[in-house]
Chain A
Amino acid sequence: KAGVTQTPRYLIKTRGQQVTLSCSPISGHRSVSWYQQTPGQGLQFLFEYFSETQRNKGNFPGRFSGRQFSNSRSEMNVSTLELGDSALYLCASSLASWDEQFFGPGTRLTVL
């Protein structure tokens, strides 16, 4: 079966701009989580969506937001980009109950 897909794979933005990243979960998966990965901080949890509702949120500023659509696809948005937002943004999906999270290949965001 098809894995988690993320688009775009690479993105370059400048400070102050905003960006939207997209994630398509594995078919049938209703939970989508987002993570930020940087060399300094490692992998950090951003938020989780289940059936279009945010279930958990990590310790990130309000500039980071997300949503989930009825087909379980999810988007995350970062407004007023800062240099420190440069990172690999990973999306993971899982079935309704606790189950293995499958990660996508990530979107590498560079903020100049």
Chain B
Amino acid sequence: QKEVEQDPGPLSVPEGAIVSLNCTYSNSAFQYFMWYRQYSRKGPELLMYTYSSGNKEDGRFTAQVDKSSKYISLFIRDSQPSDSATYLCAMSAPGSARQLTFGSGTQLTVLP
């Protein structure tokens, strides 16, 4: 069993929809939680970063972390065709903060 599980999709939604992306994890040492977006043939780019539990909002994006359930989510409001990409959750533990463990990625397509 992988330390981080993520539904690979693919996920297809109409423009303007609310998108929910989720990951579960098993390592209770994880304290840093991130969401990356990766366009085809590009490197991942950081969307959201959360330390420990709680919510964080940035524009149309909201990240939630529930450490008691070992579950993290990313919500995208008013989705746009430009949001079409692969979304990767990633996490790390104190002492090895830059050693990220990634989910397998969810491929999202937003249809105009």
- B-contacting residues of A (Cβ < 8 Å)? 4, 31, 33, 35, 42-45, 48, 55-56, 58, 90, 92, 94, 98, 100-106
Inside 8 A of B36's CB, which chain A residues have their CB?
A: 103
Residues A43 and B102 in contact, CB atoms below 8 Å apart: yes
Chain B stretch 43-81: residues in CB contact (< 8 A) with chain A: 43-46, 49
Closest B residue to A48 by beta carbon equals B98
Shortest CB distance A50–B (Å): 8
Are A90 and B44 CB-contacts (below 8 A) given A56-B96, A98-B97?
yes
Listed from nearest, the 8 A-B pairs whose CB atoms lie closest are: A103-B43, A43-B102, A98-B97, A42-B104, A56-B99, A103-B44, A45-B99, A100-B46
Inside 8 A of A31's CB, which chain B residues have their CB?
A: 98
Interface string of B88-103 (1 = CB under 8 A from A): 1010000011111111
Best-buried of B49, B98, B99 by chain A (most CB within 10 Å): B98
A-B contact pairs, 28 of them (CB 8 A): A4-B43, A31-B98, A33-B100, A35-B100, A35-B102, A42-B102, A42-B103, A42-B105, A43-B44, A43-B105, A45-B100, A48-B98, A56-B98, A58-B99, A90-B43, A92-B43, A92-B98, A98-B32, A98-B98, A100-B46, A100-B49, A101-B98, A101-B100, A103-B44, A103-B45, A105-B42, A105-B43, A106-B43
For the complex, would chain A's binding face be called helix, strand, loop or mixed by DSSP majority?
strand
Closest B residue to A41 by beta carbon equals B104
Are A33 and B43 CB-contacts (below 8 A) given A42-B103, A42-B104, A42-B105?
no
Residues B98 and A94 in contact, CB atoms below 8 Å apart: yes
